[in-house]
Amino acid sequence: MNSVSPSAAQYVGGVMQDELMEGRRQQQQPLDRQGSFGLRTPQTLDPSSRDATGEPDEMDRLKAKLMSAWNNVKYGWTVKSKTSFNKVSPVTVLGHSYLLNSEDEVERFRLAFVSRIWLTYRKDFPQLEGSTLTTDCGWGCMLRSGQMLLAQGLLVHLMPRDWAWPDAQQLTDVDFEVFRPRSPARAGGVPIPSFGSPRGSNTPEKSPPSEQRPKCSQKKRPESVRDRQAEPVHHRLVTWFGDQPSAPFGIHQLVEVGKSSGKKAGDWYGPSIVAHILRKAVAKTSALHNLAVYVAQDCTVYKEDVVRLCDLSLSQNPPDPPSQAWKSVIILVPVRLGGEALNPSYIECVKNILKLDCCTGIIGGKPKHSLYFIGFQDEQLLYLDPHYCQPVVDVSQVNFSLESFHCSSPKKMPFNRMDPSCTIGFYAKNKKDFESLCSAVSEVLSPPQALSSSKEKYPIFTFVEGRGQDYGLEGHSSNNSGPAAHILPPGRLGRSNNRRNSDEFVFL
C-alpha cells in the first residue's frame, strides 16, 4: 500500500496538528484571499497578468496545480496510486466475491468498485453557517465516510439489484495490477487496465496511447438497458449529497444536525456520532418516505425498536395498500474492536461481515484518519478514501458530471492498522429481509467454539428482543455524560450506568 510519510502530519489531541492550524488560518483569513482548500494561494493581483477573458495565466495555473497536488498529499491522498491484487485469493466487495484470474472477473471487480459512490473533501462550496469555512478539507473526513456509507444504503434501496454505473467504461487507465503471490519479482506483475482517473491534471501518471494498451483494456461489458434506465435515479441520489445547504445529506445539513451533539464545522467527528447524525438527517428529509435509519445502542440491536420504527401498521394511520406497511431500514452499529489497537481476534468476524449481502460497509479508518471499508483480500482491507480535495460540483445543473463521484483507485491497508472504533452498516428492504439479516449476522458474530477461550462468547454486538433506552443524538454530545458502550456477552447487557463520551467504549 502506498502511504504518506508519518512526518507529513503530527497528531495532537485527536486532530492532526496541521489540519487544526490550517482550520484556524482559514477562519482568520478573509474569504476573498483563500485559494485552493481554503489556503491562501500565491496569485498576482495585477490585471495585466490575466488575459482578455479573465482567465489566469500559465504561471497561475501551474501554481494552482502545484498547490493542489501538495495539499492532497498533506491531507492523506496518495499521489502515486497503483494497488496490487493477487490472482489466487478472492477479493470480497460488499457481499460479492471476485477471483482475479480472468479478464471477465477483473472487469466485474472493476465495475463493482467504480460503481460505489465516492464522496471526498470539496473546496469553494457555500460558506458553512456559523463559520467562515468554504471547505471541509482537514476535518470532514468522517462525515464524508458517513456519507458514503449512507449512499451505499441508498444505492441498494433505490437501484436495481447488482446495478453498475454504465459510464464506468470511460475510466480506462491502469491503476492497479494483478500478480501471482509467489512471483520472484513484483515487477513481473500483470497490469490490468481498469480504472481511469477523475483527477485530471492532478494525476501524475498518464494513460498510454490506446494502441499501446494491452488488449484487455478494450474489452467492455455489454451495457445493461436496465442500468441505463436507472441513471436519472443515480443523478438524483448524488444531488442529495451535494455541497449546498439545500442537499438533505450534504455537508451543510450534516454539520447543522451535528450541532445538537455539541459539534460544529471544523471539529473532528467520531464514527458513533456520525451514525446518529445520519439517522437524524434521514428522519428530517422529505426526499425519502419509505426508509428509516436505526442506530444500535451499547452494541445491541433491539429488535422491538426496529419493528416499531419500520412497521407502519402499528401507526395511527396505516398505509394503503398494506403491502407498503414496512419501511426499509439501514442499521448502523457503532462498536469498538479493541483497546488502543484492533484486537486480532475480531479480524475474521469483520471479514465474515463484509461477505454478507446485507452489509453496506464500515466507517472507521486508521487513527484520526477516516476511511470507508467496502471489502478485503487476504489480510488487507479494501477502502474508499475521502482525503482528496476536489472542486465543488453544482449538482443543480442538468446532467452534471458524475465522474468526480466515482473513484478510479482501489486502495488497501492491513487489518492491523485499522482503528478499533468504527460503525458497521446493514440494509434490509422488508420485514423478511430484516429477519434474515438478524439470523445471518448473528451467525457470523458467534465465534467458533474452538476459538473461545472460555465458555462465554463475546461477540462484536448482539441482537436481542425487547426495547432499549433512547439516548438519541443529544445523548452523544461531547458535553454530556452517561453510560459507556460495552461489548458484553448476552445476558449481561445494560448493567452499566456510567456513560461517557459517545466514542468511548469499555472492552472486556
Q: What is the 3-state secondary structure (H, E, C) of 417-475?
A: HCCCEEEEEEEECCHHHHHHHHHHHHHHHCCCHHHCCCCCCCCCCEEECCCCCCCCCHH
Cα dist. 42→35, 65, 424 in Å?
A: 8, 12, 43
Give me the residues paired with residue 421 across strands: 336
Percent helix / strand / coil, the chain, rounded to 5: 35, 20, 45
Terminal alpha carbon distance of the chain = 32
Q: What pLDDT score was predicted for residue 501? A: 39
Write down the residue that cell numbers 455524560 correspond to.
Answer: 481
The answer on pLDDT for 37 being more than 90 is no
The mean pLDDT value for 348-358 works out to: 96
Mention every residue, 6+ apart, whose C-beta is less than 8 A from residue 321. none
Query: Among 111-115, 306-310, 411-415, 493-497, which stretch is predicted with the lowest mean pLDDT?
Result: 493-497
Copy the grid coordinates of residue 395.
Answer: 449538482
What is the 3 state secondary structure string of 236-253? HHHHCCCCCCCCCCCHHH
Active site residues: 141, 385, 387
Q: Compute how many other C-beta atoms are within 10 angstroms of the C-beta atom of residue 502.
A: 24
Average pLDDT over residues 359-369: 91
380 near 371, Cβ under 8 Å?
Answer: no
DSSP state of 11: E
Cβ atoms 89, 375 nearer than 8 A: no
pLDDT at 115: 95
* Separation between Cα atoms, residue 482 and residue 484, nearest integer Å: 7
Question: How is residue 263 written as a grid cell?
Answer: 459539534
Cβ–Cβ < 8 Å for 311, 319: no
pLDDT tens readout for residues 259-282: 988 999 999 899 999 999 999 999
Amino acid identity of residue 281, one-letter, is: A
Cα separation, 178 vs 96, whole angstroms? 18
Q: Are 328 and 291 in contact (CB under 8 A)?
A: yes
CA nearest 118: which of 137, 84, 141? 141
Q: How far apart are CA 101 and CA 379, in angstroms?
A: 19
Domain range list for the chain: 13-74, 90-183+190-506
Closest CA to 243 of 352, 378, 391: 391
d(CA 419, CA 431): 33
User: What percentage of the chain has pLDDT greater than the value 70?
Assistant: 63
Q: What's the pLDDT score for residue 483?
A: 35
Cα–Cα distance measured from residue 351 to residue 415, given in angstroms and rounded to the nearest whole number? 10
Model pLDDT, residue 69: 59
The pLDDT tens digits for 444-500 are 998 655 444 444 457 899 999 988 876 555 555 444 433 333 333 344 443 333 333
Neighbours of 445 (CB within 10 A): 17
Q: Where are the alpha helices (DSSP H) in 289-338?
A: 303-310
Task: For residue 112, give the C-alpha cell.
Answer: 463493482
Tell me: pLDDT of 219 over 50. Answer: no
36 close to 71: Cβ distance less than 8 angstroms: yes
Task: List all residues 6 or more positions away from 187 whose beta carbon is below 8 Å from its beta carbon.
Answer: none
For the chain, the maximum distance between any two Cα atoms, rounded to a whole number of angstroms, is 79
d(CA 457, CA 452): 6
Q: How far apart are CA 471 and CA 467, in angstroms?
A: 12
148-189 pLDDT tens trace:
999 999 999 999 988 999 988 766 554 678 876 654 444 334
**Cβ-contact 279, 272 below 8 angstroms:** no
CA-to-CA distance for 9 and 483, rounded, in angstroms?
Answer: 34
Phi, psi of 17 (to 5 degrees): -60, -45
Q: What is the pLDDT of residues 307-320, one digit of tens each?
A: 999 998 887 666 66
Q: Which residue has the cell 477573458?
A: 53
Q: What does the mean pLDDT of the chain come to?
A: 75
Confidence of residue 221 (pLDDT cuts 50, 70, 90): low
* Preceding peptide of 245 cis, ω within 30°: no
